Amino acid sequence: MRPDVLNPLFAPATGLDGIGAKTAALLNRLLPVPEGIEPRILDLLLLPPSGLIDRRNRPTIGQAVPGTLATVEVTVDRHKPAPAHGRAPYRVLCHDETGSLTLVFFHARADYLERALPVGEKRYVSGQVEAWGDMLQMVHPDRIVDAAGLAKLPPIEPIYPLTAGLKRATIVRAIDGALDALPDLPEWQSRDVMAKMRWPAFGEALQRLHRPQVPQDAALEGLAWRRLAYDELLAGQLALLLVRARTVKVSGVARAGTGELQAAITTALPFALTGAQRRSAAEIGADLSSGERMVRLLQGDVGSGKTVVALLAMAQVAESGGQSALMAPTEILARQHFKTLSEYASAAGLKVALLTGKDRQSERRKVREGLANGEIDIAVGTHALFQQDVAFRSLGLVVVDEQHRFGVHQRLALTAKGDRPDMLVMTATPIPRTLLLTLYGDMDVSKLDEKPPGRKPIASRALPDERIDDVVTAVGRAMQAGNRVYWVCPLVEESEAVDAAAAEERFAALSAIFPGRVSMVHGRQDLTAKQAALAAFQDGRTPLLVATTVVEVGVDVPEATVMVIEHAERFGLAQLHQLRGRVGRSDRASSCLLVYKPPLGETARARLEIMRETEDGFRIAEEDLKLRGGGDVLGTRQSGFPGFRLAQPAVHLDMLDMARDEARYIMETDADLKGERGAALRTLLYLFDRDHAVRLISAG
C-alpha cells in the first residue's frame, strides 16, 4: 500500500488552479507520466527547469548593456500606435534621468498597453535590452509591473520545457500550486550522508529548485539538484537489488538438456558461429543448467547474431521439456524473429508460433491451444503474449527483445505465466558500462562483440543537402546493380503525423524519378500496408524503401547495401548507428550516406565524425554518453538517463557508486524495509515510480 502521506502528491494535476482536461492532455505529452495514468501533482514537482531568467540586474537606462536581460524603472512619455496599414510595430517611448528607452510590441492590443503603461506613470519593465541604431529598445518585455508588482517579482525565474499549446505561465502557476501541496515527508537518507554532503531536506530541495533565490539553487551541480538526483539514483539501485533478491536469487529450475536439438540447429546453420556467439551460448547454457534462476542481458551490436544465441537457449529448454516465449516491442520485429526462428528451428523439429494483437480469432485460438497443451515449443509475439487468456503448459524461458521498450510490470506479467522461468533480455543497443549498472544492475551480462564472418565494413560519408542530386544518382546506380536501398526521412518533431508527411513528400519525389520502384513505410500506416511495402522491398519488386525510423530495428534484408539518412544532424548517435546497421548484412560492399543541412552545430559535427570513424557500437555508445548525456543511449529522444527525470549522467554519474553502496548496505541491514528508515525508503520508491519493488517485498 502506498503511504498515506503521499496521497496529496499522487492526486491528479487537474486539481490545481488553471489545469483543466485540455492542459492535462498537453502535460501528458510533456511529462514522463507512467502509461495509463493522468498527470499527477508529483510529475510537476519532478519536472526540472531547463534554464533560468535572472532579474536581479536592475540598471538605469544609461547603465543598461545591449544584449543583456535587465529590469528597468521608467516613466512613460507617450504611445505611438502602429499605423493601420503597414508593418511598423506599436511603440511606447519612456525615459529615466539617465536616458531614453523605447518599448516595442508587434501585433499589439492598444487598449491593453494603455492600461499597462499609463502616460506619466512609473513602471518597471523586464526583458532583453537591444541597440537600435543609437537608441535603446526592449522588444516585448517579459514583465510590466508597478511598484507593488515589483515587490512580488521573483529575482530568479525558472524556465521549463514546453510543448505546443502550453504557456510558460501555466506551468509556473501549476508548479507553484504543486509546491504548496507538498507534505512533510520522512527523511530516508542517513544522517551521515546528509551531514557529509550538506544537503537540504527533500521538500526544501524542491523549493530551491522551483523557487530559486540565487542561480546556484537551481544549478545542475547545486546542492538541491544533486540531493534530488541522488534520491532518484538510490531509488533505482535499491529497486534493482530488491527485484534481484526476490526474482533472481531465488531457486530456479535446472534445465540441463541433452545437447541434441542444439547440435541439430548448429549443424543446419548456413554459417559458422562466431567466438562471441559460442561464448555467450555457453554462459547462458550454464545458467539454465544451474539450480539458480537466470536473469541475463545479451548485448550485441546490430547484426551480431543475438537471435541464434537465443534459439540455442530455447533448444536447451525444449530438451528439458520446457517451452520458451520471445517478446518483441513491435509487430514488424516479432514477425522478423518468427521468420528467422522458424527457418532454423525446423532442423531440430521445434514448433514455433506467432501471437500478436492483430491475429484473427481462429488463429489466436489455435496458438493458445498449442501453448496450453505443450505442442508449441516456442511462442513469438508482442505484448499479446502476456494477456490473461494466454497460458503455457510449462514456460521455462522468457526472452525479451529491446527491453527498454517494456516496463518491469510487463516483464513480470510474462514470467508469472511459468514456474520460476529463466529470463534472457536482448538489446541491439550497445550500452556504456556506467549506464549498464544503472539500468540492468539486476542482470548478468553476455556480450556479442564480433561480426559474423564475411561481413564487409560499411563506408560512411557525410554530404551537405545541396548534393542531394548526387545522392539520388548513387541510389539509381545501386538499384541498377541489383541492390536494395533504404531512404530514411528526417525526424521532424515528436509527432508521427509530421514524420509521416515528410516521408510521403520524399516518396512522391523519388517515385517521379524511379516510377514503380519505390515503396514506403511509416508509423501511421496500418499493418497490412506496412507488410505489403516491406514484402515488396524484401523480394526486390521495389528496391527503394522510403521510411521513417520504424525501420530502426527488426528489418533484415541482406540485399540492402545503401542507407540514406536525410537530415542526419537531427538524429542521436545511437539511432544513426542502429539505422546504419540495416545495411552491411551480407558479403556485399555497403555504404551509409549521412545527408545534413549546413551549418552544423558542434555536437552534430562530432556525431557525424564518429559515425565516419567507427562501426564499433560499444565505442559509439561511450561517445554518445559524453556528447549528449546519454539521452539517446536507448534510442529515445530525451535528455538525462533513460527512465530518470532528475539525474543527468554528465553531472551526477559520480554519485552512482555511492548510491549502489548505500543500497547494498540497506539490503544487508533491512532487506524487508521494516524499520523506521525502511518505511521512509518505501516512500522514496513510490515517489520515483519504483513501487514494483515494494510490491515484491509485500508478496514475499
Asked if the structure places residue 657 within a domain, the reply is no
636: closest CA among 697, 562, 578, 561?
578
- Report angle CA 176, 180, 181 to the nearest 5 degrees: 115
Written as nine digits, the cell of 610 is 564518429
d(C-alpha 230, C-alpha 371), whole Å: 45
Asked if the structure places residue 331 within a domain, the reply is yes
Percent of the chain with pLDDT over 70: 91
- Report angle CA 227, 232, 234 to the nearest 5 degrees: 90
Write down the pLDDT at residue 316: 98
For the chain, what is the domain count?
4
Largest CA distance in the chain: 95
Q: Does residue 33 sit in the same domain as residue 180? A: yes
Please answer whether residues 297 and 287 qualify as being in contact, where contact means their C-beta atoms are separated by less than 8 angstroms: no
- DSSP H helical segments within 167-305, as ranges? 168-180, 191-197, 202-210, 223-243, 260-268, 275-289
Asked if the structure places residue 580 within a domain, the reply is yes
Query: How many helices (H) and strands (E) in the chain?
Result: 26, 21
What phi, psi does 101 have (nearest 5°)? -140, 130
Query: Among 90-94, 107-111, 661-665, which is the least confidently predicted range?
Result: 107-111
The pLDDT-based confidence of 631 (bands split at 50, 70, 90) is very low
Mean of all residue pLDDT scores within the chain: 88
- Report angle CA 102, 106, 108 to the nearest 5 degrees: 95
Q: How many residues does the chain have?
A: 700
d(C-alpha 223, C-alpha 353), whole Å: 54
Would the pLDDT of 44 be above 90?
A: yes
Write down the pLDDT at residue 437: 65
The pLDDT-based confidence of 623 (bands split at 50, 70, 90) is confident
Residue finishing a domain among 588, 614, 640? 614
To the nearest 10 degrees (0 to 180), the angle between helices 306-319 and 275-289 is 30
Q: Does residue 142 sit in the same domain as residue 165? A: no
CB atoms within 10 A of CB 167: 12
Instruction: Supply the range of the domain harboring residue 177.
Output: 4-53+159-219
d(C-alpha 174, C-alpha 169), whole Å: 8
Write down the pLDDT at residue 637: 32
Task: Please classify residue 275 by burial: count the beta carbons closer than 10 Å to its beta carbon, then call 0-12 exposed, 13-18 middle and 19+ buried.
Answer: exposed
Q: Does residue 11 sit in the same domain as residue 97? A: no
Would the pLDDT of 596 be above 70?
A: yes
Q: Does residue 485 sit in the same domain as residue 598? A: yes
Q: What is the bridge-based pairing of β-strands 378-381 and 295-300?
A: unpaired
What phi, psi does 62 have (nearest 5°)? -65, -30
- The predicted model gives 445-449 an average pLDDT of 89
Write down the pLDDT at residue 420: 86
- Report angle CA 178, 681, 437 to the nearest 5 degrees: 100
Asked if the structure places residue 63 within a domain, the reply is yes
Query: Among 3-17, 208-222, 438-452, 633-647, which is the least confidently predicted range?
Result: 633-647
The pLDDT-based confidence of 635 (bands split at 50, 70, 90) is very low
Written as nine digits, the cell of 204 is 526544501
The pLDDT-based confidence of 648 (bands split at 50, 70, 90) is confident
- The predicted model gives 4-29 an average pLDDT of 91
Write down the pLDDT at residue 453: 79
Written as nine digits, the cell of 4 is 498515506
Asked if the structure places residue 627 within a domain, the reply is no
d(C-alpha 471, C-alpha 342), whole Å: 37
DSSP three-state, residue 224: helix
Q: Does residue 124 sit in the same domain as residue 93? A: yes
Written as nine digits, the cell of 82 is 502602429
Q: What CATH number is given to the structural domain containing 434? A: 3.40.50.300
What phi, psi does 33 have (nearest 5°)? -80, 135
DSSP three-state, residue 646: coil
d(C-alpha 170, C-alpha 149), whole Å: 19
Write down the pLDDT at residue 359: 81
The pLDDT-based confidence of 497 (bands split at 50, 70, 90) is low
Written as nine digits, the cell of 593 is 550516406
- The predicted model gives 425-440 an average pLDDT of 73
Please answer whether residues 156 and 169 qualify as being in contact, where contact means their C-beta atoms are separated by less than 8 angstroms: no
Asked if the structure places residue 595 within a domain, the reply is yes
Q: What is the pLDDT of residues 254-281, one digit of tens each?
A: 999 899 999 999 999 988 999 999 999 9
Write down the pLDDT at residue 419: 83
Q: What is the pLDDT of residues 451-473, one digit of tens each?
A: 887 788 899 999 999 999 999 99
Query: Among 2-6, 294-298, 390-394, which is the least confidently predicted range?
Result: 294-298
Asked if the structure places residue 237 within a domain, the reply is no
DSSP three-state, residue 221: coil
Q: Does residue 491 sit in the same domain as residue 586? A: yes
The pLDDT-based confidence of 500 (bands split at 50, 70, 90) is low
What pTM value is reported for the model?
0.64
Residue 127: in which H helix or E strand, if any? strand 122-132
d(C-alpha 652, C-alpha 639), whole Å: 13
Q: Does residue 49 sit in the same domain as residue 60? A: no
Q: What is the bridge-based pairing of β-strands 395-401 and 323-327?
A: parallel
Q: What CATH number is given to the structural domain containing 142? A: 2.40.50.140
Would the pLDDT of 310 be above 70?
A: yes
The better pLDDT of the pair 574, 643 is held by 574
Q: Does residue 500 sit in the same domain as residue 593? A: yes
d(C-alpha 287, C-alpha 291), whole Å: 8
Write down the pLDDT at residue 632: 33
d(C-alpha 334, C-alpha 458), whole Å: 26
Q: Which residues of 420-435 are buried (b: 16+ CB within 10 A; e: fewer)?
A: ebbbbbbbbbbbbebb
Q: Does residue 268 sit in the same domain as residue 215? A: no
The better pLDDT of the pair 439, 690 is held by 690
The better pLDDT of the pair 524, 478 is held by 478
Q: Does residue 608 sit in the same domain as residue 462? A: yes
Amino acid symbol at 509: A
Q: What is the bridge-based pairing of β-strands 544-547 and 484-488?
A: parallel
- The predicted model gives 611-636 an average pLDDT of 68
Per the DSSP assignment, residues forming a β-bridge with 12 are: 40
d(C-alpha 43, C-alpha 34), whole Å: 10
Query: Among 131-145, 440-454, 588-602, which is the least confidently predicted range?
Result: 440-454
Query: Among 108-112, 414-418, 587-591, 625-629, which is the least confidently predicted range?
Result: 625-629
Write down the pLDDT at residue 249: 58
Question: Which segments within 407-556 are labelled E, that is strand?
Answer: 422-427, 444-448, 458-464, 484-488, 518-521, 544-547
Residue finishing a domain among 114, 137, 153? 153
Write down the pLDDT at residue 343: 92
503 Cβ partners below 8 Å, 6+ apart?
Answer: 489, 520, 522, 546, 547, 548
Question: DSSP for 98-120?
Answer: TEEEEEEESS--HHHHHHHS-TT
373: closest CA among 394, 350, 397?
394
Q: Which of 100-109, 241-250, 431-440, 545-554 has the highest mean pLDDT?
A: 100-109
Q: Does residue 397 sit in the same domain as residue 279? A: yes
Sheet holding 590-596, edge to edge: 458-464, 590-596, 560-566, 484-488, 544-547, 518-521
d(C-alpha 465, C-alpha 472), whole Å: 11
d(C-alpha 696, C-alpha 691), whole Å: 9
d(C-alpha 519, C-alpha 526), whole Å: 14
The pLDDT-based confidence of 422 (bands split at 50, 70, 90) is very high
Write down the pLDDT at residue 295: 85
Please answer whether residues 311 and 342 qualify as being in contact, where contact means their C-beta atoms are separated by less than 8 angstroms: no
Please answer whether residues 577 and 616 qualify as being in contact, where contact means their C-beta atoms are separated by less than 8 angstroms: no
Could you give the count of Cα atoms lying within 13 Å of 169 in the half-sphere of its Cβ?
Answer: 3
- The predicted model gives 609-632 an average pLDDT of 76
d(C-alpha 212, C-alpha 156), whole Å: 6
Write down the pLDDT at residue 269: 92
Q: What is the pLDDT of residues 467-496, one digit of tens each?
A: 999 999 999 999 999 999 999 987 554 455
Q: Does residue 36 sit in the same domain as residue 140? A: no
Please answer whether residues 406 and 379 qualify as being in contact, where contact means their C-beta atoms are separated by less than 8 angstroms: no
Asked if the structure places residue 366 within a domain, the reply is yes
